[in-house]
């Protein structure tokens, strides 16, 4: 298929894939994404950095051929860089290796095993294991590697094109967006930052301490000021790298807004009434409120708002002596995401309605404490809330708003 490559710097091209159609990816809701592959043309060698999801390579090959035509070079990839094992970046590696069997595959030691397990046809491929600050010379241009274990998988690494200051960061700094333009400034800023926040919340939150450590390491190596562009493996390319670096630093250190996320579910709408009364109290106290109804909303959107909320309220009714089960999906997710690793214990209130012994609120509060939330109060009431009971919710919301704004 014919497809155009996009020149992003002198001798550097985006040759990735626009996936218009994907709507769910490991439980993450999205409206399309891109798999960003990049070509770097040195005077002697050409490197391909990362590739695309299995079965989506037609577009990528079209763009690769276009880039070679634009550069007037013989169609030959000399160096393959695989920053990360995950299939959305490595799915075309077996085809690339088949076409260019002599080209060494640069990756971390852990990645070799992972890639061979994913793609048995690579068992005799010429892997070249790299460590931090190893480099490959393309002729007048060099690629420097930086291991990034657990950012976000054990095999992850970054590749830095030193002469132009381009950091190929793989998943770090990415966003699940599918736009026709490739650069940060070519799409609305709110859309870009919202998608970046969602990506951080869902993929980077538990790694927050490692993010800060990596920033220190990059600073100590004197690389931070050399980064002129960040080219991630999903979404837009950052021509303003400090914008996303400082956003990551804020999220990693638990910087939050005067904002509360309320998450609830309900069977007969009593817990919903409570949620709305809490919201009114919070709004009256001057904080922003975001509301999620678990019956309709899903976890990858919810955690995006938890990331910059100082408090999170959970409302759940009792069913068969237990919390209504939709909350279980979120609780398991929150356990894994470990929001307290951002250096902030988010405040919480837990509430709900019941019709007998109840108990859902207490059980949920215990779960939330185990997930690192500071549960300030619990409020469980019998069946449909009275006006007085709703006023109590309102007042609890207002008091929480005052505490948040202290």
Ligand X SMILES: Cc1cc2nc3c(=O)[nH]c(=O)nc-3n(C[C@H](O)[C@H](O)[C@H](O)COP(=O)(O)O)c2cc1C
Binding stretches for ligand X (CB under 6 A): 266-271, 317-321, 353-358, 383
**Smallest separation (angstroms) from ligand X to the CB of 327:** 12
- Counting every residue written for the chain, the total comes to 406
| Shortest reach from residue 319's CB to ligand X, in Å | 4
Q: Report the distance separating Cα 320 and Cα 347, nearest Å.
A: 28
Closer residue to ligand X, CB minimum distance, 53 or 351: 351
Q: Which is nearer to ligand X, 20 or 382 (CB)?
A: 382
Q: How far is the CB of 34 from ligand X (least distance, A)?
A: 41
Taking the C-alpha atoms of residue 65 and residue 323, their distance in angstroms, rounded to an integer, is: 56
Per-residue 3-state assignment (H helix, E strand, C coil) for 340-370 = HHHCCCCEEEEEEEECCCCCHHHHHHHHHHH
CB of 282 to ligand X, least distance (A): 19
Cβ 380 to ligand X shortest distance, Å: 9
Radius of gyration, alpha carbons of the chain = 24
Angle of CA points 70, 76, 78, to nearest 5°: 120
Min. distance of Cβ 86 from ligand X in angstroms? 40
Contacts with 142 (C-beta within 8 Å, 6 or more apart), sequence order: 135, 136, 161, 162, 163
Q: Which is nearer to ligand X, 367 or 380 (CB)?
A: 380
Rank residues 76 and 268 by Cβ distance to ligand X and give the closer one. 268
Q: State the nearest-atom distance from the C-beta of 382 to ligand X, in Å.
A: 8
Nearer to ligand X, 366 or 374 (CB): 366
Please give the backbone phi and psi of residue 283, each rounded to the nearest 5 degrees, phi first: -65, -45
Centre a 10 Å sphere on the Cβ of residue 124 and count the other Cβ atoms it contains: 9
Nearer to ligand X, 203 or 381 (CB): 381
What's the min distance (Å) between Cβ of 306 and ligand X?
A: 22
Element (H, E) at 275: helix 270-284
Reduced DSSP (H G I as helix, E B as strand, rest coil) percent helix, strand, coil of the chain, to 5: 40, 25, 35
Nearer to ligand X, 271 or 342 (CB): 271
- DSSP for 184-218 reads GGGS-HHHHHHHHHHHIIIIIGGGHHHHHHHHHHH
Residues in Cβ contact with 189 at an 8 Å cutoff, skipping those fewer than 6 apart: none
Q: Which is nearer to ligand X, 104 or 358 (CB)?
A: 358
């Amino acid at each position: 298929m014919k497809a155009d490559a996009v020149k992003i710097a002198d001798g550097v091209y985006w040759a990735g894939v626009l996936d218009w159609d994907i709507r769910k990816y490991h439980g993450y809701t999205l409206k399309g994404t891109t798999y960003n592959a990049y070509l770097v043309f040195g005077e002697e060698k050409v490197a391909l950095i990362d590739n695309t999801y299995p079965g989506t390579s037609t577009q990528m090959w079209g763009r690769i051929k276009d880039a070679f035509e634009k550069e007037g070079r013989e169609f030959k990839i000399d160096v393959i860089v695989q920053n990360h094992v995950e299939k959305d970046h490595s799915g075309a590696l077996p085809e690339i290796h088949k076409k260019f069997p002599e080209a060494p595959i640069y990756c971390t030691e852990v990645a070799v095993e992972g890639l061979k397990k994913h793609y048995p046809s690579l068992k005799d491929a010429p892997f070249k294991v790299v460590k931090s600050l190893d480099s490959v010379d393309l002729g007048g241009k060099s690629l420097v590697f930086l291991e990034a274990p657990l950012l976000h998988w054990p095999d992850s690494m970054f590749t830095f094109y030193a002469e132009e200051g381009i950091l190929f960061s793989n998943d770090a700094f990415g966003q699940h967006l599918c736009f026709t333009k490739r650069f940060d400034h070519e799409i609305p800023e709110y859309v870009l930052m919202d998608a970046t926040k969602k990506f951080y919340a869902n993929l980077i939150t538990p790694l927050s301490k490692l993010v800060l450590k990596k920033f220190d390491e990059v600073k100590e190596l004197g690389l931070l000021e050399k980064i002129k562009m960040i080219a991630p493996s999903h979404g837009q390319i950052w021509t303003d790298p400090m914008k996303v670096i400082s956003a990551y630093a804020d999220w990693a250190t638990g910087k939050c807004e005067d904002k509360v996320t309320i998450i609830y579910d309900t069977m007969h709408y009593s817990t919903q009434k409570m949620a709305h009364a809490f919201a009114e109290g919070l709004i009256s106290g001057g904080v922003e409120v975001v509301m999620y109804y678990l019956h309709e909303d899903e976890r990858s959107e919810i955690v995006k708002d938890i990331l910059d909320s100082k408090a999170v309220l959970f409302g759940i009714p009792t069913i068969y002596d237990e919390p209504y089960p939709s909350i279980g999906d979120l609780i398991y997710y929150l356990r894994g995401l470990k929001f307290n690793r951002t250096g902030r214990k988010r405040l919480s209130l837990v509430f709900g309605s019941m019709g007998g012994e109840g108990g859902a609120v207490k059980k949920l509060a215990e779960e939330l404490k185990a997930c690192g939330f500071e549960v300030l109060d619990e409020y469980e009431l019998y069946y449909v809330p009275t006006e007085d009971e709703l006023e109590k919710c309102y007042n609890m919301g207002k008091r929480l708003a005052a505490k948040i704004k202290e």
